[in-house]
Amino acid sequence: MASVGVAQFHQVFFEESLEGLDVMESSLLALDEGGDSELVNTIFRAAHSIKGGSATFGFPEMAAFTHEAESLLDELRDGRRAIDGTIVELLLRTVDCLRGMFARAQSGQPLNNAEAESLRGQMAAALGRKIEPKAAPSRRAGDHADAWRIDFRPHQGMLAGGNDPLRLFRELAALGELQVQPVLDRLPPLAALKPAQCHLGWVLELGGPATRDQIAAVFDWVEDECELTIEPLHVVADEPAPAAGVPAGKPPAAAAVHGAESGSVRVSIDKIDGLIDLVGELVITQSMLDQFREEFDTAKLALLQQGLTQLARHTRELQESVMGVRMLPIGSVFNRFPRLVRDLTQKLGKQVKLELVGEQTELDKTVLEKIGDPLVHLVRNAIDHGLEMPDRRRAVGKAQTGALRLEAFHRGGNIVVEVSDDGAGLNREAIVAKALQRGLIASGDQLSDEQVAELIFQPGFSTAAVATDLSGRGVGMDVVRRNVSDLGGAVAIRTRSGHGTVFTITLPLTLAIIDGLTAAVGREHYIVPLVSIIESVQARPETLHRVTGGGELFRFRDEYLPVLRLHQLFGCTGAQAAIEEGLLIVVEGDGTRVALLVDGLIGQQQAVVKSLEANYRRVGGISGATILADGSVALIVDVAGLIRLQSRSKAA
């Protein structure tokens, strides 16, 4: 029965152990770079918890395996063993191996495999011993008797440690027939007597089948706090030991654990408390508003307005807090990079220092789960193609060790994740040559640096002269951009030849709600996501240029942007067709800027994103729909999709 209850903690154990392994890994990597001794303590604690938990939750193979690692760590902690690259490597492989064991534990497979056995052997060898089964303790003469005499003289301080002689006697009495005689010879004069101290001694006689071990076990907690002798009164010769009185509890059976994905979010108590407080305030506001239901006169209008304002505020706060429950720090994604960078640089013979900034920045859980792969790709690319070999770096007067930086931060209503390196920058010539070869550009095209950089996002584009086994995996930058796009985000690139490259990923805070501007087009309202908007401007005639073929360009700062007439693309009637009379919203999607012509702006609002596909289908240039305050539906513009739509309809 108990084990059924305990099974519910298996999943928790798996989750926290995997987190513990992440901590071990990142601490080991930091240790490898000369971190302090507190790191060893952290690693030890993680290993220790995994060992204790795996033993408790019924995974003895894992406990035994972790025990070896723990012993090694113990030696590191005590300074008995020096920390070097070899031991860090061994422990890193241990972490990998444990991850594998957890994966097998979760799918109910046998935990040990050849790799685990071999690693365990290596750890034991490092510890200077072989793994052998523990020898059974040899039996001493005089372990069995009919009756025992026990001299028990507690030290004076024993009571303070919480050990009550009465408890010990009670336990002894459970083993057989007990007689207790106090010994008063150390009793001080009354004036010197301290009631919190133990001045008494006892002589006990225990009759019955108890063994010496059983009696010693009763005193095991007070061994060092008393004088204790246990002597047989009648020795029993050559009799086999009776079975232990208390059956040893069976370790709980490993419960069948469902798939590795738990689909759960661990939420801090602070966040939950915040939610409860907010709901409390909401209830108060509601009951305040409730009084108007009974009787209302215009004199109370101000109160009603005040109540409604409060309600609006609480609702907004509650919404933000509930969204916050889904928010998790990006550190959990960043944490995999030190290991990746270490492995890659070792393989390539490069030297790279990785810097992680803003690990506490929180992202929606879904975004977090999907941003890992694009980031891995960017980091691989930076090490593989961006950062140069040490001798090359020296030759161009750079530090031998390249710098790679992963940074997350808030900007506006968005999360920005940047991957930057101080490597060679994009190779303009190679990209242009490749693009020519692929027919992506014509030989006469004059391309700006930005346009060249954009080419690497084209499907199937890859410039590495020899596809290395690191990046040449058939997954290109186009997939990175698409993955980010699917999350409602955008990827931009800045590069300077010889100085490095920065990839900037801009992501929405949450997928469920977007900030947008409501724009009027004819009788329709469209929401344009704020993340895509650069500026909205009234076009003056001198900034507009008509080009042959009927297109229009708008001069925005130093650029000429194509004007997209939203009413034409979406087929709206009654809209403003004269650009000068409407409003241009300068937007950017997938690195391309265009100017959207709308009639005007209604305002800014948060939109809860609803699916059009649930009952209808996907619509080009539209990412979803939302419900406006009056209950009507407004469509949300997908800027990147709109730009694709426009370029295709132009090509057609």
Partner 1 sequence: MSQPNSPASASPVDMPATSQYLAVNLAHEEYAIDLLAVREIRAWTPVTRIPQAPSYVLGVLNLRGAIVPVLDLRLRFGLAREEYGATTVTVIVIVAGRLFGAVVDGVSDVLEVSAGDVRPVPDMGTAVDTEYLKGLTSVAERMVLLLDVDKLLQPQDAQMLEAALPAAADVRAVA
Partner 2 sequence: MARILAVDDSVSMRGMVAFTLRGAGHEVTEAEDGQLALDAARGSTFDLVLADVNMPVMDGIAMVRELRTMAQYQGVPILMLTTESHTDKKMEGKAAGATGWLVKPFDPDQLLATVKRVLG
Candidates 112-120, 373-381, 539-547, 569-577; binding stretch for partner 1 (CB under 8 A) = 569-577
Binding to partner 1 by residue 612, rule CB under 8 A?
A: yes
- Among 363, 539, 622, 639, which residue interacts with partner 1 (rule: CB under 8 A)? 622
Binding partner of 224, given partner 1, partner 2, none, CB within 5-8 angstroms per partner class: partner 2
**In the set 191, 192, 196, 302, which binds partner 2 (CB under 8 A)?**
196
| 133 contributes a contact to partner 2 by CB under 8 A | no
Given 24, 510, 621, 639, the residue binding partner 1 (CB under 8 A): 621
427 binds, among partner 2, partner 1, none (CB under 5 to 8 A by kind): none
Sorted by sequence, the CB contacts under 8 Å of residue 628 that are 6+ apart come out as 518, 525, 634
Residue 610 contact among partner 2, partner 1, none, beta carbon within 5 to 8 Å by kind: partner 1
Going by C-beta distance under 8 Å and a sequence separation of 6 or more, which residues neighbour residue 337? 354, 356, 375, 379, 406
For residue 48, the minimal CB distance to partner 2 (Å) is 5
Q: Which of 132, 224, 469, 613 binds partner 2 (CB under 8 A)?
A: 224
Contacted entry of partner 2, partner 1, none for residue 249, CB cut-off 5 to 8 Å set by kind:
partner 2
Cα 642–644–645 angle (5° rounding)?
A: 60
Q: If we measure between CA atoms, which residue out of 520, 487, 272, 254 comes closest to residue 368?
A: 487
* Residue among 492 and 645 whose Cβ is closer to partner 1: 645
Q: Which of residues 58-77 bind partner 2 (CB under 8 A)?
A: 63, 67, 70-71
The item of partner 2, partner 1, none sharing an interface with residue 612, based on CB under 5 to 8 Å by kind, is: partner 1
Distance CA 485, CA 177 (A): 79
Pairing of strands 362-364, 226-232: unpaired
Cα–Cα distance measured from residue 617 to residue 615, given in angstroms and rounded to the nearest whole number: 7
**Nearest distance from C-beta of residue 124 to partner 1, angstroms:** 53
3 state SS for 250-297: CCCCCCCCCCCCCCCCCCCHHHHHHHHHHHHHHHHHHHHHHHHHHCCC
Residue 256 touching partner 2 (CB under 8 A) = no
Which entry of partner 2, partner 1, none binds 160, CB below 5 to 8 A by partner kind?
partner 2
Nearest to 638 by CA among 627, 646, 629: 646
Residue 619 interacts, among partner 1, partner 2, none and using kind-specific CB cut-offs from 5 to 8 Å, with: partner 1
Q: How many CA atoms lie within 13 A of 385 on its CB side?
A: 26
Based on the shown chain and the rule CB under 8 A, indicate whether residue 347 belongs to the binding site for partner 1. Answer: no
Enumerate the H helices of 202-253 as residue ranges: 212-218
Is residue 543 near partner 2 by the rule CB under 8 A? no
Q: How are beta strands 226-232 and 327-329 bridged, if at all? A: unpaired
Distance CA 232, CA 140 (A): 13
| Cα 33 from Cα 43, distance rounded (Å) | 15
Q: Which amino acid is at 273?
A: D
Helix, strand, coil distribution of the chain in percent, nearest 5: 45, 25, 35
User: Is position 524 an interface residue for partner 1 (rule: CB under 8 A)?
Assistant: yes
* Residue 163 touches which of partner 1, partner 2, none (Cβ within 5-8 Å per kind): partner 2
Scanning 222-230, 293-301, 543-551, 601-609 for contacts with partner 2 by CB under 8 A, the matching segment is 222-230
- Among residues 219, 334, 556, 570, the one that binds partner 1 under rule CB under 8 A: 570
How far, CA to CA in Å, does 459 sit from each of 65, 267, 479, 649? Answer: 46, 39, 8, 20
Q: Is there binding between residue 79 and partner 2 (CB under 8 A)?
A: no
Using rule CB under 8 A, residue 633 touches partner 1? yes
- In angstroms, the CA 58 to CA 74 distance is 24
In angstroms, the CA 445 to CA 434 distance is 14
571 lines the binding site for partner 1 (CB under 8 A): yes
Collapse the DSSP code of 608 into the 3-class scheme (helix H, G, I; strand E, B; otherwise coil) and give the result: strand
Give the per-residue contact string, 469-488, with partner 1 (x = CB under 8 A; - = no): -------------x--xx--
Q: Which is nearer to partner 2, 222 or 534 (CB)?
A: 222
Smallest gap from Cβ 651 to partner 1, in A, equals: 9
Q: Pick from 116, 19, 16, 133: which is nearest to 69 by CA? A: 116
Residues paired with 93 in a beta bridge: none
- Nearest residue (CB) to partner 1, 199 versus 610: 610
**Lookup: tokens for 100:** 């594998």
Neighbours of 26 (CB within 10 A): 22
545 binds partner 1 (CB under 8 A): no
132 is a site residue for partner 2 (CB under 8 A):
no
Q: Where along the sequence are the contacts to partner 1 (CB under 8 A)? A: 482, 485-486, 524, 569-572, 610-612, 614-622, 625, 627, 631-635, 641, 644-645, 648-649, 652
Q: Where along the sequence are the contacts to partner 2 (CB under 8 A)? A: 2-3, 5-6, 8-10, 12-13, 16, 42, 44-45, 48-49, 51-53, 55-57, 63, 67, 70-71, 159-164, 166-167, 170-171, 196, 220-222, 224-225, 246, 249-252
